[in-house]
Amino acid sequence: MKISKNKKIIIKDLDLTKTYEPIEAIKILKDKSYVKFDETIDVAVNLGIDSNKTDQNIKGVINLPKGTGKKINIAVVTSEEKQKDAKENGADQVGGKELIETISTNKITFDILIASPDMMPSLGKIAKILGPKGLMPNPKLGTVTNDIGKAVKDAKSGQVKYKNEKSGIVHAGIGKLSFSEDDLLSNLKTFYSSILKSKPDSVKGSFIKKVTIASTMGVGLKVNMASLR
């Protein structure tokens, strides 16, 4: 694979086989950044699961203490009496059946869709549109709830959805490169801890095999998991 000139400069004095202390890895990613935009810091967690077994797959939601640095557009489908609560807590789009009608035309301008339980039968009609995009509200992810205000607030404050890929790896953005080192470390530890707690009972042996962090245009650095506990 052809390595770009900038990548060559980044890896010139780096040992990519080494396991770094988390704070050291974060500092390296900051020092080695060469682009003019605010890169996202991505974490990749390699799990010791068999993704062909449904009881070993994991998915969930994490509230990162320092936020994600990303502006999230939230739509809420709920009854009229709860729409005010959604608006007051910062929802970008709020509606009932008329919003479902808009979505049915494939007009989707939101990142997260939250719904109250009473709207789920109506949303079922557009599941084929929402499902493939990963936007179908789900009680496990906190996006089907009667506490609409809290759900909107949580999603706005730095909520991250995670789900393992077929290869058994979980990816997530845990903040921006412009965040302080301590804030990025705090988010990384919270993410690691949440994944660790989600270990399925059927998984024997080591659950988390490797944790790597990288910036959007940077390289992946393996971090010491013991320091994340």
Query: Is the separation of the CB atoms in 193 and 185 below 8 Å?
Result: no
Q: Which residue segment(s) compose the domain that 192 sits in?
A: 12-58+164-228
Does 20 map to a domain?
yes
Domain count, the chain: 2
Helical segments of 168-220, H only: 181-197
What CATH number is attached to the domain comprising 144? Answer: 3.40.50.790
- Note whether 152 and 168 are same-domain residues: no
- Looking at the chain, the whole-number percentage of residues with pLDDT higher than 90 is 75
The overall pTM is greater than 0.95? no
Indicate if 86 and 144 belong to the same structural domain: yes
- Strand order of the β-sheet with 112-115 is 93-95, 74-77, 112-115
Under 8 Å between Cβ of 96 and 83? yes
Q: What is the pLDDT of residues 2-40, one digit of tens each?
A: 556 776 767 777 888 899 999 999 999 999 888 899 999
Residues 146-170 pLDDT 10s: 999 999 988 888 888 899 999 999 9
Element (H, E) at 28: helix 22-31
Q: Is residue 173 part of a domain?
A: yes
79 and 154 assigned to the same domain: yes
Give the chain's end-to-end CA distance (angstroms, integer): 36
- Which of 141, 158, 175 is the last residue before a domain boundary? 158
Check: CB of residue 195 under 8 Å from CB of residue 162: yes
Q: Contact, 138 vs 120, CB < 8 A?
A: no
pLDDT of residue 184: 97
What does the block give as tokens for 22? 């988390």
Check residue 205 and give left, alpha or beta (phi > 0: left; psi -120 to 50: alpha).
Answer: left
Kindly list the distances between the CA atom of residue 199 and the CA atoms of 20, 58, 192, in Å, as whole numbers in the listed order: 24, 8, 12
